């Protein structure tokens, strides 16, 4: 089913682009590459690794391993409307319904044969404990070897050295499974592409800061977290450049992403993955633009292609969802100022202890920076308890409140 | 109230290196989630769907229901503990708050990193007024820890044989007291208990049960199991036997490496796992049930505990394959929540008879 889904997506987009080059948009290119990745995952032809969120995907690509974080499948199942079946499968197997639905969907998919069998697993302790649990369960389910990257909380020299050392152990682990040693030349090329892509994406995010913003809610949806899966590849550089060129063109033509932009919002953590009308509501009824996402940011410095492991370690440690919440709040406040947002929305993903667990501290920190936060109690993957009417009411009230506040940026 | 010149170090996790605190001349003080009912405001800082153990500690901190602490040590054991550390810093900004990196696995490179983290903690404790810790002091404290672990093991055996007045509930009281005492005071108290003659006539008809889980420090809650007909022949709780359990030092001779190894290899919380043997936690539970002669296993875990919630299905399947009945209770670490489960415990025990 999932192979067919991705194959149909790929074919469809390729046909559109072949038949009508004017349709070649940044979002289509991005969707095409993500769909190609999905197809490779389910193709049964590639050496496949299921991973945690901050695994070094460019390093794995340089070793000819197709890799992906498992939550990607949870998100895809939600996007296709298929998640309830797999959530129920997991719950019937005894996985508590108040755990993260990304993980429950993946466990259910695994139990129902919907997760392609990997060659091995690479778990990461960041962003969350639940992620480690699901990887351990999957490794037992598939009877495959598991490697764990323990991501320290801080980027002090010892922690960076420890994680860099673990990455080298990981390389040995992968080599034992693939029989192919890592080529440092290939890794250097992959790192150079990652650096290039990151530099261009930083430009993309800077363009999004423009007032009015060139982005619509759909433009950068999930881009930060999903594009990490394509790091090291030539394709991500092309995709990043397409985004940059599109936004630059919109700014030049004074074509904002949300016509008549009245309010600007920062979206915290992840978007809601299943189909919902919140983004349309914000843009079309309230002329409110989601100009920034917490996870759409480059939080690391360029990595030295000649000695990439410390830089990759720092990259993993630097993600907003790792480390003390005080650091996370500082990053959010910085984003709020850069993007000149009027408010923030936090979809408090049910079962997310590491992210949503800090809901109050995050809201408090942003409040001190004069950025009101709307906490939406919603499960980003499980549509079964979604109450669109309630969400609409809460968003309408939030927007009304923002409209009646003095503009903090004037 | 602190004893004169006593430097208390607060902690909240059974992986806290108590031997290191002892070596630094400081007294461990486990901040337990039981006592008064503090105003429930933790959800305003964190989220309501966070471990109730963590929430209760936040409430306790906000209520300032704590002795003077020289430092508060958190172990990076899980998401909830990290958020607790964050909330503690917000609620008690004047405290010296330390988060210690605790790897989820025990490979040599991770054990070495943990050793360095322990050195770092030692320096933090020194800044908080602790004594400098050299190899000799740490070795002495490791010896004390192992002696305490042995004394508790022998005490548990007496409890199993029903030769200890007060039984498991009294033992839980002793755990709670020891968690907030210096090693020397704990050794003295346990030695007195060890010298005391066996007492008590066994209650007949109790069904042997293994209790596993995490936070359940209320002695009355522990007593409830026996009142419901269960004889706790073994227990694996982080507020119980796991706190002072000492793992193996292996071939380590350096006391810092020994401490790291003994903590990472001690009877584990579900958050610690062996990547070469995924879900072997379930086998551990089975082995423990068999060794103790348990007819059934009861898991009591606090709600929203992801490390346990993700491993309990495997435990259930493993025990089911061996035809060992398994009961899962979720609570909020208080007597109230376990009291609600009394009927279920009684029914479970009746089924085991």
Averaged confidence pLDDT in chain B: 95
| Residue numbers in B near A130 (CB within 8 A) | 79, 306, 310
Interface test mutation site (partner A, options B13, B43, B47, B315, max chain A beta carbons within 10 A): B47
Query: What ipTM, to 2 d.p.?
Result: 0.96
Alpha-helical segments (H) within chain B: 18-23, 42-45, 52-62, 79-91, 108-127, 135-160, 167-178, 183-195, 219-227, 241-244, 255-264, 280-292, 306-309, 312-321, 335-340, 342-352
How do residues A331-387 score in pLDDT, each as one tens digit? Answer: 999 999 999 999 999 999 999 999 999 999 999 999 999 999 999 999 999 999 899
Interface test mutation site (partner A, options B310, B313, B314, B320, max chain A beta carbons within 10 A): B310
The pLDDT value recorded for residue B1 is 53
Span B224-247, average pLDDT: 95
Q: Measured between CB atoms, does A327 come within 8 Å of chain B?
A: no
User: How many residue pairs from chains A and B have C-beta atoms closer than 8 A?
Assistant: 142
The pLDDT value recorded for residue B4 is 62
Q: For residues B107 and A32, what is the distance between their CA atoms, to the nearest angstrom? A: 40
Query: Is the distance from CB of B205 to CB of B231 less than 8 angstroms?
Result: no
* Residue located via tokens 């790091």: A231
Q: Measured between CB atoms, does A350 come within 8 Å of chain B?
A: yes
| Residue numbers in B near A380 (CB within 8 A) | none
Among A148, A353, A361, the residue with its CB nearest the CB of B275 is: A148
The tokens for B275 are 């990547």
Closest to A187 (Cα-Cα) out of A177, A175, A199, A176: A175
pTM above 0.90, yes or no: yes
Judge whether residue B3 has pLDDT over 70.
Answer: no
How do residues B15-56 score in pLDDT, each as one tens digit? Answer: 999 999 999 999 999 999 998 889 999 999 999 999 999 999
Q: Measured between CB atoms, does A98 come within 8 Å of chain B?
A: yes
Q: Who's near B115: CB < 8 A, 6+ residues apart? A: B256, B257, B259, B260
How do residues B326-336 score in pLDDT, each as one tens digit? Answer: 999 999 887 77
How do residues B112-137 score in pLDDT, each as one tens digit? Answer: 999 999 999 999 999 999 999 999 99
Task: Please check whether the two domains, A2-180 and A186-403, share a CATH topology.
Answer: yes
The pLDDT value recorded for residue A23 is 82
Judge whether residue A287 has pLDDT over 60.
Answer: yes
Closest to A222 (Cα-Cα) out of A274, A181, A257: A274
How do residues B73-89 score in pLDDT, each as one tens digit? Answer: 999 999 999 999 999 99
Q: For residues A258 and A371, what is the distance between their CA atoms, to the nearest angstrom? A: 21
Among A129, A348, A360, the residue with its CB nearest the CB of B271 is: A129
Among A129, A146, A360, the residue with its CB nearest the CB of B46 is: A360
Closest to A137 (Cα-Cα) out of B270, B301, B285: B270
Domain boundaries along the sequence of chain A: 2-180, 186-403
The pLDDT value recorded for residue B29 is 98
The pLDDT value recorded for residue B333 is 81
Interface test mutation site (partner A, options B76, B93, B278, max chain A beta carbons within 10 A): B278
Distance from CA of B276 to the nearest CA of A (A): 7
| Residue numbers in A near B110 (CB within 8 A) | 150, 166
Partner residues linked to A267 by β-bridges: A293, A345
How do residues A225-260 score in pLDDT, each as one tens digit? Answer: 999 999 999 999 999 999 999 999 999 999 999 999
Query: Given the DSSP bridges, would you call strands B296-302 and B8-11 parallel, antiparallel or unpaired?
Result: unpaired
Contact between chains at B43 and A326 (C-beta distance less than 8 A): no
- A2-180: CATH class: alpha beta
Among A95, A100, A158, the residue with its CB nearest the CB of B116 is: A158
| CATH architecture group of domain A186-403 | 3-Layer(aba) Sandwich (3.40)
């Amino acid at each position: 089913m999932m192979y067919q889904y991705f194959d149909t997506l790929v074919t469809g987009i390729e046909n559109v682009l072949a038949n009508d080059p004017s349709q070649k948009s940044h979002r289509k290119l991005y969707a095409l590459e993500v769909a190609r990745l999905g197809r490779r995952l389910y193709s049964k032809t590639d050496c496949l690794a299921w991973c945690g969120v901050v695994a070094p995907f460019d390093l794995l690509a340089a070793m000819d391993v197709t890799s992906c974080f498992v939550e990607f499948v949870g998100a895809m199942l939600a996007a296709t409307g298929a998640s309830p079946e797999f959530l129920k499968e997991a719950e019937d197997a005894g996985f508590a319904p108040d755990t993260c639905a990304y993980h429950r969907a993946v466990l259910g998919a695994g139990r129902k044969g919907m997760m392609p069998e990997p060659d091995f697993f690479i778990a990461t302790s960041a962003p969350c404990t639940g992620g480690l649990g699901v990887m351990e369960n999957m490794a037992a389910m598939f009877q495959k070897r598991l490697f764990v990257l323990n991501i320290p909380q801080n980027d002090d020299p010892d922690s960076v050295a420890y994680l860099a050392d673990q990455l080298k152990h990981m390389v040995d682990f992968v080599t034992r499974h693939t029989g192919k040693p890592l080529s440092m030349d290939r890794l250097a090329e992959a790192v150079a592409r990652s650096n290039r892509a990151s530099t261009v994406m930083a430009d993309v995010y800077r363009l999004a800061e423009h007032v009015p913003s060139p982005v619509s809610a759909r433009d950068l949806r999930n881009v930060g977290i999903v594009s990490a899966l394509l790091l090291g590849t030539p394709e991500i550089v092309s995709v990043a450049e397409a985004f940059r060129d599109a936004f630059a063109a919109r700014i030049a033509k004074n074509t904002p992403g949300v016509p008549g932009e009245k309010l600007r919002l920062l979206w915290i953590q992840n978007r809601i993955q299943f189909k919902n009308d919140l983004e349309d509501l914000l843009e079309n009824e309230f002329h409110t633009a989601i100009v920034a996402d917490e996870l759409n940011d480059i939080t690391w410095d360029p990595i030295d292609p000649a000695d990439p492991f410390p830089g990759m370690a720092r990259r993993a440690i630097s993600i907003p969802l790792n480390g003390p919440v005080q650091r996370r709040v500082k990053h959010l406040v910085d984003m709020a100022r850069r993007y000149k947002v009027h408010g923030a929305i936090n979809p408090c993903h049910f079962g997310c202890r590491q992210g949503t667990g800090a809901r109050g501290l995050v809201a408090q920190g942003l409040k001190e920076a004069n950025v009101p936060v709307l906490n939406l109690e919603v499960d980003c993957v499980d549509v079964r308890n979604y109450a669109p009417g309630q969400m609409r009411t809460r968003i309408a009230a939030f927007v009304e409140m923002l409209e009646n506040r003095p503009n903090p940026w004037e | 109230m602190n004893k004169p010149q006593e430097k208390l170090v607060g902690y909240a996790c059974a992986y806290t290196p108590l031997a290191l605190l002892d070596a630094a001349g400081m007294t461990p003080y486990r901040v337990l989630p039981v006592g008064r009912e503090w105003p429930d405001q933790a959800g305003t800082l964190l989220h309501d769907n966070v471990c109730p153990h963590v929430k209760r500690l936040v409430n306790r901190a906000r209520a300032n229901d704590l002795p003077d602490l020289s430092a508060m040590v958190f172990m990076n054991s899980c998401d909830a503990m990290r958020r607790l550390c964050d909330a503690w810093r917000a609620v008690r900004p004047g405290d010296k708050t330390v988060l210690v990196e605790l790897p989820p696995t025990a490979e040599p490179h991770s054990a070495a990193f943990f050793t360095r983290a322990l050195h770092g903690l030692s320096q933090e404790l020194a800044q908080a007024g602790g004594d400098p810790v050299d190899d000799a002091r740490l070795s002495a404290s490791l010896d004390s820890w192992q002696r305490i672990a042995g004394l508790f093991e022998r005490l548990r055996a007496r409890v199993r044989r029903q030769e200890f007045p007060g039984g498991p509930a009294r033992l839980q009281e002793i755990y709670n007291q020891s968690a907030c005492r210096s090693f020397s005071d704990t050794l003295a108290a346990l030695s007195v208990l060890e010298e005391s003659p066996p007492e008590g006539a066994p209650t007949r008809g109790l069904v042997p049960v293994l209790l596993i889980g995490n936070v359940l420090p209320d002695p009355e809650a522990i007593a409830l199991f026996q009142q419901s007909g269960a004889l706790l022949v073994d227990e694996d709780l982080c507020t119980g036997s796991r706190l002072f359990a000492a793992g193996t030092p292996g071939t380590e001779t350096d006391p810092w490496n020994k401490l790291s190894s003994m903590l990472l290899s001690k009877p584990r919380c579900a958050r610690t796992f062996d990547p070469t043997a995924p879900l072997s936690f379930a086998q551990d539970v089975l082995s423990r049930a068999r060794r103790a002669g348990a007819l059934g296993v009861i898991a009591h875990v606090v709600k929203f505990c992801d490390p346990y919630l993700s491993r309990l299905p495997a435990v259930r399947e493993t025990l089911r394959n061996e035809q060992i009945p398994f009961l899962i209770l979720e609570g909020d670490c208080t007597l109230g929540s376990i009291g609600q489960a009394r009927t279920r415990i009684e029914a479970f025990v009746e089924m085991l008879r």
